[in-house]
Structure 1
C-alpha cells in the first residue's frame, strides 16, 4: 500500500504552504502527499507532485475548523505533519490529536511568540501529543528545543541548488533584464493588504535608481506597477538572480536570500505569532521605514557588481527532514 503523508499547513500567506511544498515535493517521490491549506494563494501554486486540498479562505472560522477536523479524523495516512501550530491555527486540533495515537504525529517547530506558547500551555501539549518535533533551521533557543524527540535541520527551501534554473534564462525570460544591469527585486510575499506598501517602495526605488532594473514580485499586480510587476512561483528562482532584495522578514524570504547569498533589506512586518523582528535582526539589513530601505539599497547598490557568478550551493533542510521522517520508528 502506498504511504500517505498529510501535512497541515493552514495560514493566511505564502509561508505555511511554501514550507509544506518544500517538504512535500521531496516526499512525493516515494509517498502520496496531501497538503491541507487555506492560503488565498493556493491556486497560484504548482502543486509540485502533491495533492493540495484548499479550504477557501472565505469559509469563516467555524466552518474552516469543522472541515479541518473532519478531514484529519477521517484521513488514511501514516504520517500527520503539523506546521507551526500544535493545537491548530484556531485550536481545532486540541481535542482530536489525542484520538490519533495510531498515526505518527510530527510537529514542525518554527519560531513563534512565546506568549502564545505560555498562554496555551503548549510545552506539555507538544510533549504529550507529538512523536517527533523538527526545527526547520530556526535555531536552538526555541521553546520546545529541549524536548527529547527534537531534530534540527537547515532551513527548508522549495528549490534545492541543483533545481534552480540557469540564471541568464531567468533574468531574460522572467525578469526581462540582461546580465549587465543591477537588479533590485521587491518581494511582496506577505498579506494582501501589504501590497500597497511594497508598491510604494518599488515605485520610489524605480525613481531613485534609473540605471537599475526594479521589479516587484507579487501574486497580483500592485497599484501603478504594471511595468515593474512579475508574477512567478516559486519566488526563490527570481531571488536567486537579483542583486538586492527588499521585502518582509518572513521565513521563506529570509532563508531563501540567506541561502542564495543575496542581500535582503527587510521591514519586519507585524504578525500575531511570527516574530519577524527577531529574524530580521539576525539575517537581514533591518530597516524601519521606506526611506531607510531606500538609503540601505543605495549603500548596497553602490558597492556591488551585477551578479555574473554561478548560483551558490547550499543545503536544503527539507531533504534532511524527509530522511528524518522516513527513518522514525514509531
Structure 2
C-alpha cells in the first residue's frame, strides 16, 4: 500500500506553500503527498508532483475550518505534517488533532511570536499532540526548542543546488538582462496587498540606479507597471540566484534562499501577526536590515546600502551556483522515522 503524507500549509503569500512544496517534492519520490493550502498563488505554480487541496483565499474563517476538518477526517494518510501553526491558522485543529492520535503528527516549527505561544498555551498542546517537532533552519532559540522531541535541519529550499539553472541562462531567458549589467531584483512574494508598495519601490530603484537593470519578481504584474520590468517565475530561488542584489521582505524563503545562493538581501522586514521578520533579518549575515517604514531616511539608507553592495559585485560572476545543503532532504528522513 502506497504511503501518503498530508501537509497542512495554510497562510498567505508564497511562503507556507513553497516550504510545503520544498518538503513534498522530495517526499513524493517514494510516496503520495497531499498539501492543504489557501495561497492565492497555488494555481499559478507547479505542484511539484504533489496533490493540492486548494481552499480559495476569500473563503471565510468558519468555512475554511469546515473544509480543513472534512479533508482531515475523510482523507487517508499515515503522516500528518503541520506547518507553523500547531492549532491551525484559525484554531480549527485544536479539537481535531486529539482525535487523530493513531496517525503520527509532526510540527514544522518556524519562528513564531511568543505572545501567540503564551496566549494559546501552545507548549502543553504540542507536548500532548505531536510526536515530533522539526525546526527548519531557524536556530535553537525558538519557543519549543528545549522539548525532547525537537530535531533540527538546515533551511528548506525548493531546489537543490545542482537543480538550479546557470546564471547566464536565467538572466537571458527569464530576467531578460545582459550578463554585464548589474541587476537589482525586487522580490514581491508576500501578501497581495503589498504588491503596490513593492512596485513603487522598484520604480524608485530604476530611477535612482539608471546603470542597473531593475526587475520585480511577482505573481502578477502591478497595475500601471512597465511589463518589461516584471518577472513572473516560480520557484523564485532560480531568479534570486541570477541577481546581484535582492530587495524584499525578510520572510522565511526570501532570507534563506538569498543566503543559500550567496546573494545579498536588502531587507525591509514586514509586519506580520505571527512571523517575526525583524528578528530573522537581524540574525542573518546575508541581510542588510533597513527597517519596515519607507521614510525619507529609509530611502537614503537603501540608496547608500545598494551603492556599497554594488561596489562589491563582480562584473563577470562565475555562472556556477554555490553549494548548499537542503534541509528538506534531511526532514523527509526524520519524518519517515517518526
Same fold (TM over 0.5): yes
Match of 1:324 in 2: 334
Q: Following superposition of structure 1 onto structure 2, how do residues 201-216 of structure 1 map, counting pairs within 5 Å?
A: 201-216=201-216
Task: Report whether the alignment pairs 1:295 with 2:304.
Answer: yes
Partner deviation per Cα, 1:274-318 (whole Å, 9 max, x = no partner): 000001111210102350223211221123223521210000000
In the superposition, the TM-score normalised over structure 2's length comes to 0.95
- Equivalent pair of 1:243/1:307 in contact (CA under 8 Å): no
Following TM superposition, by how much is the alpha carbon of 1:226 offset from its aligned partner in structure 2, in angstroms?
Answer: 1.7
Q: Following superposition of structure 1 onto structure 2, how do residues 161-180 of structure 1 map, counting pairs within 5 Å?
A: 161-180=161-180
Separation (CA, whole Å) in 1 of partners of 2:13 and 2:179: 32
Match of 1:186 in 2: 186
Which stretch shifts more, 302-311 or 199-208? 302-311
Partner deviation per Cα, 1:25-56 (whole Å, 9 max, x = no partner): 00000010000001111111100000011001
Match of 2:103 in 1: 103
Match of 1:25 in 2: 25
Partner deviation per Cα, 1:172-216 (whole Å, 9 max, x = no partner): 000011211111100000001111111111111111111111100
**What secondary structure sits across from 1:322 in the alignment?**
helix
Q: Following superposition of structure 1 onto structure 2, how do residues 1-330 of structure 1 map, counting pairs within 5 Å?
A: 1-223=1-223, 224-283=225-284, 284-288=287-291, 289=294, 291=299, 292-306=301-315, 308-309=317-318, 310-328=320-338
Which stretch shifts more, 180-189 or 302-311? 302-311
**What secondary structure sits across from 2:228 in the alignment?**
coil
Residues matched between the structures, number:
328
- Equivalent pair of 1:243/1:306 in contact (CA under 8 Å): no
Separation (CA, whole Å) in 2 of partners of 1:226 and 1:299: 29
**What secondary structure sits across from 1:34 in the alignment?**
strand
Separation (CA, whole Å) in 2 of partners of 1:174 and 1:162: 19
Which stretch shifts more, 294-303 or 120-129? 294-303
Structure 1 stretches of 5 or more lacking a match? none
Separation (CA, whole Å) in 2 of partners of 1:227 and 1:269: 27
Following TM superposition, by how much is the alpha carbon of 1:323 offset from its aligned partner in structure 2, in angstroms?
Answer: 0.9
Separation (CA, whole Å) in 2 of partners of 1:236 and 1:225: 23
Separation (CA, whole Å) in 1 of partners of 2:269 and 2:47: 29
Separation (CA, whole Å) in 2 of partners of 1:96 and 1:176: 49
Following TM superposition, by how much is the alpha carbon of 1:225 offset from its aligned partner in structure 2, in angstroms?
Answer: 3.1
Separation (CA, whole Å) in 2 of partners of 1:316 and 1:142: 20
Separation (CA, whole Å) in 1 of partners of 2:186 and 2:88: 31
Separation (CA, whole Å) in 2 of partners of 1:127 and 1:249: 30
Separation (CA, whole Å) in 1 of partners of 2:48 and 2:315: 31
CA spacing shift, 1:154–1:307, aligned 2, 3 Å:
farther
Structure 2 stretches of 5 or more lacking a match? none
Separation (CA, whole Å) in 2 of partners of 1:307 and 1:237: 18
**What secondary structure sits across from 2:254 in the alignment?**
helix
- Equivalent pair of 1:203/1:225 in contact (CA under 8 Å): no
- Equivalent pair of 1:12/1:191 in contact (CA under 8 Å): yes
In the superposition, the TM-score normalised over structure 1's length comes to 0.98
- Equivalent pair of 1:35/1:52 in contact (CA under 8 Å): yes
